[in-house]
């Protein structure tokens, strides 16, 4: 969809996803998803690298989005289904995310070939792409249709989900057609799962390479939670150093290193006259490494994002000790990892909340070690040059001394 049709549905999704208020009731459920992942890693992978880290985080990000969209757990993190209905949903969801992941992978492979040519030549990548797309649409239709039926039955009984799910809002409040809801939700899962999981990988890589930064995050958690270490949604606004870690990760390794726009009118850009219909490409990666904007740009320094902090160019990388100078505020358009304007990332608020909760809960309970050094390569998004070997260690003393049983529901 494009033009006015796109604008109509984008406006609806903006109201549901880009405002902070509607997300707040979902923070406890998002936190429980993160708890499940940390529990899983601590029990299965302590003192050794997490196997298939990318897949683990892909399932975490999909599970997180699922509690917002459907209002229930999808069973992607190893939980045992209790009913036949839950077993079927877990199986369907597993097929769905494999198909979505395949679409993303084959889109990368087809990135330099015109789609019409790839289709006419029946290239293997095109065949795999088409198969994954058909599977995703079919399985997605099954999942969404089942959720829609359940929502209607619940409504008929006079019951409303608390908090309201995205699916319920689109169906009952916005009164969208089921076919439109299906398209919107598949697009959302396709766009969100890979990007959020890869951003998490880069954040974990940097924390695993810089234990002094992880230590400061843990100290902040102690202070904000009053020593309990139990990070909840209402704590996030006070975890300013943790938010700086995520911003710094996105600055150094933006998951979308390039952003494109097609000009709708003739434009003067930096003194150059650019005609309408020209594609303009912005290197977010290059902007984030510009030393005139970000002093000492190759150092990982979350402190640069604090309101009053040191200039990273005056101290060693990741130094926590302040230097005399204070860095000027960063220009608002020097840091746009989620894009800007009406076509900016629709899932920004959700992704940020997921990342803050995951990193906080991991750092509070385990030590992180990145065993290998990786570079960034472009595969439609910025990914690691080789699989990250992330090892977790259970420290002798963690932030919290009591870890209550986790709820499995939402």
Please give the average pLDDT of every successive group of 10 residues along the chain, which has 410 residues: 87 91 93 96 95 94 94 86 82 85 80 84 92 88 85 86 91 91 86 89 98 97 92 94 98 92 92 94 93 95 80 40 49 87 91 97 97 90 93 74 40
Q: Binding residue per annotation — 345?
A: yes
Q: What's the pLDDT score for residue 408? A: 38
Which of 398, 51, 48, 388 has the alpha carbon at shortest distance from 230?
Answer: 398
| Contact call for residues 253 and 270 (beta carbons, < 8 A) | no
3-254+357-393 maps to which CATH number?
1.10.630.10
- Using alpha carbons only, give the angle 309, 364, 402 rounded to the nearest 5 degrees: 140
What is residue 305's DSSP assignment? G
Q: Which helix (H) or strand (E) holds 139?
A: helix 124-156
- The domain segmentation of the chain, as residue ranges, is 3-254+357-393
The predicted model scores a pTM of: 0.87
Q: What's the pLDDT score for residue 327? A: 54
Q: Which helix (H) or strand (E) holds 384?
A: strand 381-384
What does the radius of gyration of the chain's CA atoms come to, in whole angstroms? Answer: 22
Rounding to the nearest 10 degrees, give the CA dihedral for residues 375, 379, 380, 381. -30
Q: What's the pLDDT score for residue 189? A: 85
Q: What's the pLDDT score for residue 193? A: 79
């Amino acid at each position: 969809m494009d033009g006015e049709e796109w604008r109509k549905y984008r406006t609806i999704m903006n109201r549901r996803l880009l405002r902070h208020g509607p997300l707040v009731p979902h923070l406890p459920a998002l936190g429980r998803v993160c708890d499940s992942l940390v529990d899983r890693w601590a029990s299965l992978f302590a003192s050794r690298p997490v196997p298939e880290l990318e897949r683990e985080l892909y399932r975490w990000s999909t599970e997180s989005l699922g509690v917002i969209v459907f209002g229930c757990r999808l069973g992607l993190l190893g939980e045992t289904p209790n009913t036949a209905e839950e077993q079927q949903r877990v199986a369907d969801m597993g097929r769905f995310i494999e198909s979505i992941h395949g679409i993303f992978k084959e889109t990368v492979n087809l990135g330099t070939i015109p789609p019409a040519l790839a289709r006419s030549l029946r290239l293997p990548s095109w065949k795999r792409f088409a198969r994954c797309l058909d599977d995703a649409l079919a399985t997605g239709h099954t999942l969404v249709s089942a959720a829609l039926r359940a929502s209607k039955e619940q409504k008929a009984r006079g019951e409303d989900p608390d908090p309201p799910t995205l699916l319920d809002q689109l169906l009952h409040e916005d009164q969208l057609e089921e076919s439109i809801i299906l398209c919107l939700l598949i697009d959302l899962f396709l766009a969100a799962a890979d990007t959020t999981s890869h951003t998490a990988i880069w954040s974990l890589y940097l924390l695993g390479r810089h234990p002094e930064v992880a230590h400061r995050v843990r100290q902040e958690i102690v202070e904000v939670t009053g020593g309990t270490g139990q990070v909840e949604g209402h704590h996030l606004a006070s975890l300013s150093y943790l938010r700086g870690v995520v911003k710094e990760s996105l600055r150094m390794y933006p998951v979308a290193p390039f952003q494109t726009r097609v000009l709708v009118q003739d434009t003067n850009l930096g003194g150059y006259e650019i005609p309408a219909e020209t594609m303009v490409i912005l290197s977010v990666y290059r902007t984030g490494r510009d030393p005139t904007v970000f002093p000492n740009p190759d150092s990982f320094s979350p402190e640069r994002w604090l309101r009053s902090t040191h200039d990273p160019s005056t101290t060693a990388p990741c130094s926590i000790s302040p230097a005399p100078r204070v860095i000027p505020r960063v220009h608002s358009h020097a840091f746009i990892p989620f894009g800007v304007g009406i076509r900016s990332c629709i899932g920004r608020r959700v992704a940020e909340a997921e990342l803050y909760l995951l990193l906080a809960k991991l750092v509070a309970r385990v030590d992180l070690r990145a065993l290998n050094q990786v570079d960034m390569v472009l595969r439609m998004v910025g990914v690691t040059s080789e699989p990250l070997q992330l090892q977790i260690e259970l420290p002798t003393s963690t932030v919290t001394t009591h870890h209550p049983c986790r709820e499995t529901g939402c």
